[in-house]
Amino acid sequence: MLNYPATSSFNCQNTRFTPPPGYTLHPSSLTLSSSSSSSSSLHSSSQYHQNLPKVIAYKHTHFNISPRTKVLKVRCSQNEPLKVMISGAPASGKGTQCEMIVQKFGLVHISTGDLLRSEVAAGSEIGNQAKEFMNSGRLVPDELVTNMVIGRLSRDDTKQKGWLLDGFPRSFPQAESLEKMKIRPDVFIVLDVPDENLIDRCVGRRMDPETGKIYHIKNFPPETEEIKARLITRPDDTEEKVKSRLQIYKKNVEAIVSTYSDLLKKIDGNRSKDVIFGEISSLLLQVEKEKETEKSGNISKLDSQFNKSPSTKENWRGIPTNLNNIPHSREIRDYFYNDVLQATQRAIKDGKTRVKVEINIPELNPNTDVYRIGTLMELVRVLALSFSDDGKRVKVSVQGSMGEGALAGMPLQLAGTRKILEYMDWGNDGAMGTFINIGAIGGRDVDEADDIFILVAPQNAMGNCIIDDLRAMTDAAGSRPVILINPRLKDLPASSGIMQTMGREKRLEYAASFEICYQFRLLYYSGTQYPIMGALRMAYPYRYELFKRINEANGKEKYVILSTFPSRPTGDEVNDAFEGKTRDQVKKASGFWGFLNSILST
């Protein structure tokens, strides 16, 4: 971690090594005492000066030179050098792997931990500001680290040799700063190590201040007594501080990983360092190859190297903008049809048989004035045609009139739907009437030949409940997939204005038996529908992703990811993420999300 590849282009000046305040020298023994990392256990400075590492000052940043890294093989192509980010919990082995990556690939290693430690050692202004944060295991303020990294990345050597960014970005604002500057890696590696191993790795870690080499008292003891005598311990490597560093890492990791989800490669870091390096090395060689192929005009995505099918999340290109412009453009509509289709296909492929799609872009949200039945019909057509292309017989079902006599009627949203479906253009392949058939909702509408059922916005009408028909249909469908598109199964007021709550529990339980395979919601301030504040998206089998909408200077807008959740977030969780707060379990639902909460349940 402390070593830095020396480059001939550096304008250097050698200075004497000053031990970083708080570092502990282990002159002869590798035994760890409980106070090993406290500054009180420092040895006299004369002991340090017996082993003087060189510290290079380049402008205001100081780097240690490792003699080992002077002879570097530069493998990446001159024009398109590799750009790599490596991330992982404290002590997951980033520094250890970076040493090996640098030796083989010759990338410029930019470790924020090392840069900061060098600043601390040099007693620079940056170092003085960072010291307290680092020693207590907290993150150094974003602005300070970001400026340091961006400054370092802008130097010529990174353009020639490529870069290996270690320990940055480590918070959402840091990732956002890089995104704004369009600084993206070719691959984002995450080292995955179980928590219980991390503490032992940290507490047992020792570093050689001369070479920067990382040791471990048990796993990688030093080669000689001489090295052993000069090893130092980092002040933030106590058990207590490691636990707090780990907590901070966990709090931030999702937002960062989501930013790079299209480039993510998770590596099991709980193996021998050589085995891990073997995997990283073949990955990087592969990425190099891909870059060369891409350069020669033969566009080939990283997906192939990661063995991912074209329909996986990694092909996802972000949320389209201008969702307030009504009617939505053909491009926006196609984007959502395709997004829903891919998620639904994945769910069905995984054997799910009761799934629902919930998408409320303005044109598909019946609570808005701009709702368009045509958009819903197009979505249904895309799904039905795609399944029929796969050779499945699809039944598209729209519920008919409900109730009897004067009370007979159907939900306004569905009025005329069936006719529209029948008149729609279903292509010239003759799918309609053979592979695709239109029916109603109910047990009688399930034919033996049907393979899959798409139910168009099944809903309760005032005073009438669709659940019994739905249940009869799903019972008859048995193990065949049933897909609900924008179901509305929540309570609706009867014509008398009284809420229908009869059999409520049973109905809601039934509605909940359908698993959401796609969800997209726009978020607004409580009680408003303008401007859009953000969006919540989930596409099976991935996590819920929370986005914030940001106005850009050029009059454009974009969506940036704020957080991800394993299950649908509560209003509190969404509010907290927007406010940048940690989760407070006891907080009551309030804030801008309050409004949307009321329409979340189906």
Residues that bind ligand AP5 (CB under 6 A): 1, 88, 90-96, 112-113, 116, 133-134, 137-140, 145, 167-168, 170, 174, 201-202, 204-205, 214-216, 219-220, 236, 245, 272-273, 276
Longest distance between any two alpha carbons in the chain, whole Å: 100
Pick the closer one to ligand AP5 by CB: 140 or 421: 140
Dihedral class, residue 478 (left if φ above 0, else alpha if ψ from -120 to 50, else beta) = left
| In the complex, minimum distance from the CB of residue 214 to ligand AP5, in angstroms, rounded to a whole number | 5
The yes-or-no answer on residue 170 being catalytic is yes
The yes-or-no answer on residue 234 being catalytic is yes
Pick the closer one to ligand AP5 by CB: 174 or 486: 174
Of 83, 155, 205, 507, which residue is the catalytic one? 205
- The Cα 404–Cα 406 span in angstroms is 6
Tokens 């870690």 correspond to 205
Of 83, 155, 234, 543, which residue is the catalytic one? 234
Pick the closer one to ligand AP5 by CB: 52 or 248: 248
Distances, alpha carbon 561 to alpha carbons 19, 279, 425, 530, 543, in Å: 40, 29, 38, 20, 12
SS3 content of the chain, % helix, strand, coil (to 5): 40, 20, 40
b/e sequence 560-596, b meaning 16+ C-beta within 10 Å: bbbbbbeeebbbbbbbbbbeeeeeeeeeeeebbbbbb
Distances, alpha carbon 131 to alpha carbons 64, 118, 126, in Å: 18, 11, 9
The yes-or-no answer on residue 206 being catalytic is no
3-state secondary structure (DSSP) of residue 108: strand
Query: What sign results for the dihedral spanned by CA atoms 296, 298, 301, 302?
Result: negative
Contact yes or no for 119/62 (Cβ under 8 A): yes
Query: What sign results for the dihedral spanned by CA atoms 111, 116, 117, 123?
Result: positive
Nearest C-alpha neighbor of 595 from the set 539, 533, 545, 542: 533
Contact yes or no for 388/435 (Cβ under 8 A): yes
Instruction: Give the type of residue at 146.
Output: T
Pick the closer one to ligand AP5 by CB: 155 or 216: 216
Query: What sign results for the dihedral spanned by CA atoms 577, 579, 584, 588?
Result: negative
| In the complex, minimum distance from the CB of residue 70 to ligand AP5, in angstroms, rounded to a whole number | 21
Query: What sign results for the dihedral spanned by CA atoms 5, 11, 17, 22?
Result: negative
Of 83, 117, 161, 170, which residue is the catalytic one? 170
| In the complex, minimum distance from the CB of residue 24 to ligand AP5, in angstroms, rounded to a whole number | 14
Closest CB to ligand AP5: residue number: 113
Pick the closer one to ligand AP5 by CB: 114 or 262: 114
DSSP 576-596: HHHHTPPP-TTPPS-STHHHH
Pick the closer one to ligand AP5 by CB: 127 or 411: 127
Pick the closer one to ligand AP5 by CB: 191 or 466: 191
Q: How many CB atoms lie within 10 A of CB 556?
A: 10
Q: How many CB atoms lie within 10 A of CB 285?
A: 16
Pick the closer one to ligand AP5 by CB: 165 or 438: 165
Structure tokens at 490: 């929540």
| In the complex, minimum distance from the CB of residue 172 to ligand AP5, in angstroms, rounded to a whole number | 11
| In the complex, minimum distance from the CB of residue 411 to ligand AP5, in angstroms, rounded to a whole number | 53
* Element spanning 546, H or E: strand 544-551
Could you report how far apart the first and last alpha carbons of the chain are, in Å?
52
| In the complex, minimum distance from the CB of residue 149 to ligand AP5, in angstroms, rounded to a whole number | 7
| In the complex, minimum distance from the CB of residue 196 to ligand AP5, in angstroms, rounded to a whole number | 13
| In the complex, minimum distance from the CB of residue 9 to ligand AP5, in angstroms, rounded to a whole number | 25
The yes-or-no answer on residue 271 being catalytic is no
The yes-or-no answer on residue 228 being catalytic is no
Residues taking part in catalysis: 94, 170, 205, 234, 245
